[in-house]
Amino acid sequence: MDAINIYISIPALMPEKTKQDIAKRVKDSCPFTVNVTYWSTGTYYDPLSVDKCDIFIVVTEHNTWQTNINFLPSGIRKELKLAESLEKPIFLAYTTASQEMYFYAASLTKESISGRAGSSTSLAKEVTDFVNTKACYKKGYKIIEKLSPEKREEETDQRLLL
């Protein structure tokens, strides 16, 4: 199975050591092999980074649970807009007062991005679902979770008859 590609959109002025720590925490929180990339000041920026990723994570400058999108650095705003238009799963990194980092499924509006309460395990679940979906497609199975409830029931009934 190919590794999952995760791109982290991190403020450019964040120290490199902090960026490396965030990347390690992403890897540690995932149940499968993942390739984690982010841009560092002074290095080549791949304009296809967001296109190539399977999952997109946003790190805000001041570690906020919710922020106005206009307060994000312009690079993160552009990447976030692109990830949303490409329908990438989007997560928000948040570090607690005890320095534990969690990745929450993001809720987006025109004005803000915020973490969804209770979704801190969703990055691992998203990676697992993504791996399972890729495996099913490779084996030729239909992904019934993507179907409407009526169609899903019909597909399930047909599988039971086999």
| Ordered structural domains, the chain, with CATH | 4-121 (3.40.50.450)
Helix axes 122-139, 16-29, angle to 10 degrees: 60
Inter-residue contact 101 to 91 (CB < 8 Å): no
The two tokens of residue 151 are 């169609």
For residue 162, pLDDT over 60 is answered with: no
Task: Work out the pLDDT band at 8, boundaries 50, 70, 90.
Answer: very high
In whole angstroms, give the CA distance from residue 150 to residue 102.
Answer: 35
Nearest partner of 11 among 73, 68, 56, judged by Cα: 73
For residue 160, pLDDT over 70 is answered with: no
In terms of phi and psi (left: phi > 0; alpha: psi -120 to 50; beta: otherwise), the region of 59 is: beta
- Give the strand pairing for 90-95 and 101-108: antiparallel
The reported pLDDT for the residue numbered 122 is: 67
Task: Work out the pLDDT band at 43, boundaries 50, 70, 90.
Answer: confident
Predicted confidence (pLDDT) per residue in 76-104, tens digit: 999 999 999 999 999 898 888 888 888 88
In whole angstroms, give the CA distance from residue 158 to residue 162.
Answer: 7
